[in-house]
Amino acid sequence: MFKLHGFGNQLLVVIAFLLVVPVIVTLYMLHVIKNSELALVENQKAKLLRAVDELDLSTGESFNDILKKHGALNEPKAEKVRVLNNQLKTHIAEIMTRYPGVEVGFYSSELDVMLDGSENYEENFSRRRKSAFEKTINQQEPMVQTFGRSVGGILEAYKPLYRHSQLQGVIWATENLSNTNYYKKFKQVEQTSYAIIIMGIVFGLGSSLVLMQKFVKYVDQIKKGLQTLQFDLKKTLPPAPGELGEISKAINRLAIRLSDVHKYNEIMLATIDDGLLVVDSRGKVVIANSAATRILGLLPDSLEKKYTDIFPADSPFPSLLARTIEEHRQFKDVKVKWVSPSRKTLELLASTAVLMDSKQEIIGTVLCCRDVTERMRLEERVYRQERLAALGKLVAGVAHEIRNPLTSISCYIQLWQRHNNPSPRSLATMQQEVTRLDTLVNQLLYFAKPAEAKFSTQNLNQLVEKVLQFFTELYPGKYTIIKSLAVNLPPAWIDPEQIERVLMNLIFNAIQAMPDGGRLEVKTVYDAVTGAITTTVSDSGCGIAPEALSHLFDPFYSTKPKGTGLGLAIAYEIIRAHGGNIEVESKPGQGTTFRFFVQTSREENYGAKSYSCS
């Protein structure tokens, strides 16, 4: 609803009355003058058209008839023009006398010259007139045009000239409207109208000055109040009349809501166990909760400081934030082993992300750190219990595996004691059993205490080629080996010797599943989303029974009569130590497929120094 007591409305009323009303009156005056101008022009157009019609009727002879009559038909152009001007000037003068202020004449298209009864025998017209003559001849109908208002206004009329049904040229007439003083009067009225408008504007501005001063005063109060609210949301703006008062009340309500939200945010950030650090686009800290200060060892009063200045000297987090900012990428659950300033070793999961607004423009970066030290200890405790349980199975398996060759050796020794004559066959059997025991012991040692992995960036495709070359030479022509290796595969972060051992185990198992030959396929694929390389080993062998799939990676579980059951268990431990995973799919009678995944970079173990296969 419109309220007159508001400052803005009062100002609008004054401006509307003092500015709009004079403008409306002036526009009306200009409208009346414009209509008068149009009426005058139409009247003058009609007069000029009458003049050219009367000039057309005053002589019925063609230009050639006049020249032939005076013996100048074959004379030069200048002589022809002179003769025509002499013969036509009487008719021209008669029309000009009848219409004072009007100039009339002819244009001969054959001679390309204006005939106005003067002594000028050369080309005597402008390019504009030439264009008007040509337009009239082409259209073959009368034409009127107006121009030159700045010099008082000039009106011209043109009519095609026909003699003996032939188009001879153009009859023209022109009049300078400045003789009527109309445009001079129009300009005076126009200037008066503009003066009225300017006076109205000046008067309106002067009248509204008092209201504006009051308006500016209250606006300044609001500005100062807003500057205070930047640092203290509990301050309120002073009351003001009219719309400004409503704005002040709205700002005060908004400040109260912001204060409440700020209070809730502080409480929530203080109760969150995860460390949260937010950096703006300039690299300055805008949020750092108490958990972040405690976990990351930040300096006190970190807000509004550069993030590079608040971390301890040996902290890995500034470089992690820098990579996030420079590469515009996020890191998810990066494992960090961090010794805090209190000399306490912490196991952390760090994640970073780039913050963007609705326009997809970067406005900052966030770092979230979760302390998983206690969880890792619990997992280690559970893992140790699982290892103890596995050790029980391991002891039973070792006892079973060692008892068989020891029984064979014991029988042969008893036989030798009776006959005192060992046979070559018995010696060979004993040698096989001893070799079997040695292999078993080596595998047990590796499984119980695996070698420390030596990670580096390696070309996994070259490693696959090396292993396949070994089996190709070992079994020439027996198996169809298919390689499907990814092009431009990024380097993998692996221990080449241990991954080679995994490939050897998987391919050897595939070959054992195809005793009569078959198809062996090895494939590598890179997933840019997860940053992982997938290596697949497939065979067309006998397959694995569904009930056996869940036990394939258990120590001493084997479906082969003389298998130790440690090959796949060791492969599983190696891939697990690489932060990857291994999967198996199989259908009896159709074949088996193993897949293992490794990372292309060490970011998943950011800040770690070494890794082991256990």
SS (H, E, C) 177-203: HHHHCHHHHHHHHHHHHHHHHHHHHHH
Closest to 236 measured CA to CA, from 267, 263, 258, 212: 258
CATH of the domain at 414: 1.10.287.130
The mean per-residue pLDDT over the stretch 495-523 comes to 91
Report the first-to-last Cα separation within the chain, whole angstroms: 79
Q: What pLDDT score does 419 carry?
A: 66
Within this chain, do residues 358 and 383 fall inside the same structural domain, yes or no?
A: no
Reported as a pLDDT band with limits 50, 70 and 90, residue 605 is very low
At how many degrees (to 10) do helices 21-58 and 77-98 cross?
A: 120
Residue in this structure with the two tokens 């009062």, named with its chain if needed: 10
In this structure, are 48 and 114 located in the same domain?
A: yes
Report for 159-168, 210-219, 246-255, 299-308: range of highest mean pLDDT: 159-168
- What's the mean pLDDT in 80-85? 88
Q: What is the largest CA-CA distance in the chain?
A: 168
The closest alpha carbon to 499, from 602, 565, 576, belongs to: 576
Domain edge (last residue) among 316, 346, 371: 371
Give 68's contacts (C-beta < 8 A, 6+ positions apart): none
CA atoms lying within 13 Å on the CB side of residue 306: 5
- Closest Cα partner for 509 from 569, 459, 466? 569
Quote the pLDDT of residue 265.
Answer: 66
Residue 415 lies in a domain: yes
Q: Is 106 exposed, middle or buried (0-12, 13-18, 19+ CB in 10 A)?
A: buried
- Are 418 and 504 part of one and the same domain? no
Coil, strand, or helix at residue 404? helix
Lookup: tokens for 531 = 């940053």
Whether residue 99 contacts residue 51, with contact meaning beta carbons closer than 8 Å, is answered with yes
407 shares its domain with 464? no
Q: How far apart are CA 604 and CA 602, in angstroms?
A: 5
Mean pLDDT of 551-570: 71
Res 182: pLDDT: 56
Q: Which is nearest to 606 in space by CA: 327, 391, 422, 332?
A: 332
In this prediction, residue 158 has a pLDDT band, given cuts at 50, 70 and 90, of very high
Residue of 263 and 512 predicted with greater confidence: 512
Going by DSSP bridges, is the β-strand pair 581-587/518-527 parallel, antiparallel, or unpaired?
Answer: unpaired
DSSP-based three-state secondary structure for 599: strand
Task: Indicate the number of domains in the chain.
Answer: 4
Specify whether 591 is located in the same domain as 612: yes
In the three-class reduction of DSSP (H, G, I as helix; E, B as strand; rest coil), residue 603 is classed as: helix
pLDDT given at position 607: 39
- Domain CATH for 514: 3.30.565.10
Predicted confidence at residue 356, as pLDDT, reads 85
CA 501, 573, 598 angle in degrees (round to 5)?
70
Q: Dihedral of the CA atoms 294, 298, 302, 303 (nearest 10)?
A: -60
Q: For residues 252 and 35, give the distance between their C-alpha atoms in angstroms, rounded to a whole number.
A: 58
- Confidence class for position 222, pLDDT limits 50, 70, 90: confident
Residue 610 has what pLDDT?
32
466 within a domain of the structure (yes/no):
yes
Among residues of the chain, what percentage have pLDDT more than 90? 15
Q: Taking 60 as the threshold, does the pLDDT of residue 178 lie above it?
A: yes
Residues 394, 359 share a domain: no
Domain match, 88 and 170 both: yes
The CATH number for 88's domain is 3.30.450.20
Highest average pLDDT, of 53-67, 246-260, 392-406, 422-436, comes from: 53-67
Q: Copy the structure tokens of residue 475.
A: 């079994």
Label residue 476 by pLDDT band (50, 70, 90): confident
For 383-434, the pLDDT digits (tens) are 666 665 665 565 555 655 666 666 766 676 766 666 666 667 766 766 677 7
Are residues 442 and 331 located together in one domain of the fold? no
State pLDDT tens for residues 114-133. Answer: 888 876 655 557 888 889 88
User: Which two three-digit tokens encode residue 550?
Assistant: 């869940």
Residue type, 144: V
* Whether the Cβ atoms of residue 507 and residue 568 lie closer than 8 Å to each other: no
Residues 89-102 pLDDT 10s: 898 899 889 998 88
Is residue 599 within 8 Å of residue 529, measured between CB atoms? no
Model confidence at 606: pLDDT above 60: no
Is the domain of 14 the same as that of 127? yes
**Contact between residue 614 and residue 577 where contact means Cβ atoms under 8 Å apart:** yes
Kindly state whether residues 290 and 411 are assigned to the same domain: no
Task: Encode pLDDT of 318-366 as tens digits.
Answer: 888 888 888 888 888 888 887 777 777 888 888 898 888 888 888 889 9
Angle at which helices 424-448 and 373-419 pack, to 10 degrees? 170
Confirm whether 228 is domain-assigned.
no
Q: Which long-range contacts (CB under 8 A, 24 or more apart) does 484-489 make?
A: 484/521, 484/522, 484/523, 484/524, 485/461, 485/522, 485/523, 485/524, 486/461, 486/524, 486/525, 486/526, 486/533, 489/459, 489/460, 489/461, 489/524, 489/526, 489/533
- C-alpha 554/C-alpha 165 separation (Å) is 118
**pLDDT reading at 611 higher than 50:** no
- Predicted pLDDT of residue 184: 63
The whole-number pLDDT of residue 394 equals: 59
User: Is the pLDDT reported for residue 506 higher than 50?
Assistant: yes
Rounded to whole angstroms, how far apart are CA atoms 604 and 583?
20
How confident is the model over 263-287, as pLDDT tens digits?
Answer: 766 677 666 778 888 888 888 888 8
Looking at the chain, how many residues does it have?
A: 614
Residue 230 is given by DSSP the state T
Count of beta carbons in the 10 Å neighbourhood of residue 280: 16
Backbone torsions φ then ψ of 488, nearest 5 degrees: 55, 40
**pLDDT per residue as tens digits for the range 513-553:** 898 889 999 999 998 878 899 999 999 998 988 888 877 88
pLDDT at 1 over 50: no
Order of strands, edge to edge, in the sheet holding 581-587?
479-484, 518-527, 532-539, 591-599, 581-587
Please choose, from the candidates 527, 458, 526, the residue with its C-alpha nearest in 3D space to the C-alpha of residue 492.
458
- Cβ burial of 104 (10 Å; 0-12, 13-18, 19+) is buried
**Which domain does 128 fall in, by range?**
8-183
Per-residue pLDDT at 441: 64
Higher pLDDT, 495 or 210: 495
Instruction: Give the DSSP letter string of 304-315.
Output: TSBGGGTS-TT-
Whole-angstrom Cα distance, residue 610 to residue 224? 59
- Convert the pLDDT of each residue in 579-598 to its tens digit: 889 999 999 989 999 999 99
Residues 155 and 96 in one domain: yes
Whether 200 is in a domain gets the answer no
Residue 237 domain-assigned (yes or no): no
Please check whether residue 212 lies inside any domain of the structure: no
Neighbours of 273 (CB within 10 A): 9
Q: What is the mean pLDDT of the chain?
A: 78
Distance, in Å, from the CA atom of 30 to the CA atom of 130, rounded to the nearest integer, reads 35
The reply to whether 31 and 179 lie within a common domain is: yes
Record the tokens describing residue 235, joined without a space. 């301050």
Is residue 323 domain-resident? yes
Pick the last residue of a domain from 396, 416, 449: 449
Which pLDDT does position 586 carry in this prediction? 92
Q: Work out the number of other CB atoms within 10 angstroms of the CB of residue 513.
A: 20
- Specify the pLDDT at position 181: 60
Beta bridge partners of 145: 156
Q: Given the DSSP bridges, would you call strands 479-484 and 518-527 parallel, antiparallel or unpaired?
A: parallel
Q: Which of 157, 183, 209 is the last residue of a domain?
A: 183
Q: Which residues pair with 351 in a beta bridge?
A: 368
Do the domain assignments include residue 593? yes
